[in-house]
Chain A
C-alpha cells in the first residue's frame, strides 16, 4: 500500500491546491502514480471538524490527516492528532520544543516525525550539528518531494547514525506534485490509527516517482 504522507491543500496559507483536485489528478495519473491515498499535513493547524469521506468514496482514495508543526529542531509531521495532543501543544507556535513534541505526541497516542531533515534552518540535520540528538525519534522523512538538490542526500547520515526509519512524502503544495514521493507500507492502512501503528512497527520504505513523472512529461 502506497501513501503520500506529506501534502498541503488550500487550507495551508502557502498552497492553492484543492483536495478534490489532488484526488482527480491521482485518479487520472493512476498508471504513473500508483498512490492509494494521501495524508494532508496542513501547516500549524488542526481542524477536528473536516470530513473527507464523501471525497474518499467518490475517488476511491484514502484521505487521512496529520499536521506539520514548527519546532526548535525544524519542522515535524504529527500523525494521529487528537484532542489530547492539541490541548498539549499550540500548533500555531513556531517555536515548539521538539523534544517535548516527540515525547508527548508518542505518549498521547500519535507519532511525531521530523520532515525534510536536510533543509537548512527547518531541517533536523542542521540542528544536530549544534544541539544534542532528540530522544524517541522513530522515523524521519528521508525523501521529500520539495527538497532541493543535496537536501535529501544529507539525511542518510543521520539515518545511519541514529537508526531512524525512513519514509517519503511529496510535500505537495501544487496539484501536479502530489504523489511524486511517497511511502510503501507492507501492511494495510485504512485509518489514522492504522497509520500510527504502521509507522511504529516500521515495515515501510520511501518510494520515489519523480524520475518516471519527469520522463512521462518529457515524452509528452
Chain B
C-alpha cells in the first residue's frame, strides 16, 4: 500500500464544538466509572473534565479525502497518545484541528503494515491548548 506523504501536515478538519456542559463532563466521567468528586459531583463552578475528555470529541471528518476510499475496511485503531493541556470546564468552547501527522511502514510477524497518525490539536476559546491527540490507524 502506497500513501502519498505529501498529505502529511495538511489540515483536513477543523471543527468548533458546542459549548461543553456540566452534563457532558459528568456523562463522560461516569462512562468509565470515574468517582473523583472534582470530575463527577463537584458544583458546576468547580467541575473540571477528566484529562482524557478530548477523546470524546468527534470532528466532521475522521480522515482526509486524499486517502484511498477503501482504507477503512482493512485497518484498525492502533492506539492513541494524548498530551494534556489546560483543564476543560463547563462553558468552554473547544476547537479541534486535525492533520495527518505521520505516515510510515513497518514489518512484523504478520507482514507489512502502514500506519497513519492523525493529530488533533484541541484548543479552548482563549486559544489555550487543551489536548494534542495522536490517533494511530494501522492498515494492511
Contact = CB atoms under 8 A, between A and B. Distances in A.
A75 B112 CA distance: 12
A13 B104 CA distance: 10
A144 to B, nearest CB: 12
A94 B106 CA distance: 6
B42 to A, nearest CB: 31
A92 interface: yes
A65 interface: no
B109 A43 contact: no
SS of B interface (majority)? strand
Contacts of B105: 94
A200 interface: no
A70 B106 contact: yes
Given A13-B115, A94-B112, A75 B104 contact: no
Contacts of B107: 70, 74-75, 94, 121-122
A206 B16 CA distance: 57
Contact of B108 (A13, A44, A92, A121): A121
A115 to B, nearest CB: 12
Nearest to B102: A13
SS of A interface (majority)? loop
B109 A121 contact: yes
A97 interface: no
Interface string A92-110: 1010000000000000000
- The bracket for how many chain B residues form the interface is 10 to 19
Q: Looking at B104, B106, B110, B111, which has the most chain A CB atoms within 10 Å of its CB?
A: B106
B8 to A, nearest CB: 13
Contacts of A119: 109
A120 interface: yes
B116 to A, nearest CB: 12
Q: Looking at B109, B112, B115, which has the most chain A CB atoms within 10 Å of its CB?
A: B109
Interface string A70-91: 1000110000000000000000
Contact of B109 (A13, A92, A94, A122): A122
B132 to A, nearest CB: 16
- 9 closest A-B pairs by beta carbon, nearest first, are A94-B105, A70-B107, A120-B109, A94-B107, A122-B107, A121-B109, A119-B109, A121-B111, A94-B106
Given A94-B107, A121-B110, 19 more contacts: A13-B104, A13-B106, A13-B115, A43-B106, A44-B104, A44-B106, A70-B106, A74-B107, A92-B104, A94-B105, A94-B112, A119-B109, A120-B109, A121-B107, A121-B108, A121-B111, A122-B107, A122-B108, A122-B109
